[in-house]
Amino acid sequence: MRKIAIIGAGNVGKVLGCALKKKGYRITSAFSRSEKSREMAANLFQCPVYSEPEKAAYEADVVFLTTPDRVIEEVCVSIALKKGFRKGQVVLHTSGAHSSTILISARDMGADVLSFHPLQTFPELEAGLRSLPGTFFAVEGDEKALPLAEELVVAMEGKMLTIPTEMKPLYHAAACVACNYLVSLMDVALRMYRVMEISPEKAFEALSPLIFSTMGNIKALGPEKALTGPVSRGDSSTISSHIDIMRKLTPELLPLYRSLGLYTVDLALKKGTLDKEGEEKIKKLLGGLK
Ligand X SMILES: NC(=O)c1ccc[n+]([C@@H]2O[C@H](COP(=O)([O-])OP(=O)(O)OC[C@H]3O[C@@H](n4cnc5c(N)ncnc54)[C@H](OP(=O)(O)O)[C@@H]3O)[C@@H](O)[C@H]2O)c1
287 makes contact with ligand X (CB under 6 A): no
Strands 112-118 and 136-141 turn out to be: antiparallel
Q: How far is the CB of 25 from ligand X (least distance, A)?
A: 18
Greatest C-alpha distance within the chain: 70
For residues 113 and 87, the answer to whether their CB atoms sit within 8 Å is no
Determine the size of the site formed for ligand X (CB under 6 A).
24
Q: Sketch the per residue contact string, 19 through 38, with ligand X: x for CB under 6 A, - otherwise.
A: -------------xxx--x-
| Centroid of chain to Cα 201 | 26
Which residue lies nearer to ligand X by CB, 32 or 236? 32
Q: Exactly one of 46, 121, 162, 208 binds ligand X (CB under 6 A); which one? A: 121
Q: What is the CA radius of gyration of the chain?
A: 24
Q: How far is the CB of 39 from ligand X (least distance, A)?
A: 10
For residues 268 and 274, the answer to whether their CB atoms sit within 8 Å is yes
Which residue lies nearer to ligand X by CB, 120 or 273? 120
Distance from C-alpha of 16 to C-alpha of 35, rounded to nearest angstrom: 21
For residues 67 and 7, the answer to whether their CB atoms sit within 8 Å is yes
Which residue lies nearer to ligand X by CB, 13 or 278? 13
Distance from C-alpha of 16 to C-alpha of 120, rounded to nearest angstrom: 12
Q: Exactly one of 29, 67, 89, 105 binds ligand X (CB under 6 A); which one? A: 67
Q: How far is the CB of 34 from ligand X (least distance, A)?
A: 3
Which residue lies nearer to ligand X by CB, 66 or 232? 66
For residues 112 and 145, the answer to whether their CB atoms sit within 8 Å is yes
Which residue lies nearer to ligand X by CB, 44 or 111? 44
For residues 125 and 66, the answer to whether their CB atoms sit within 8 Å is no
Binding residues for ligand X restricted to 88-117, rule: CB under 6 A: 94-96, 117
Site residues, ligand X (CB under 6 A)? 8-13, 32-34, 37, 66-69, 71, 75, 94-96, 117-118, 120-122
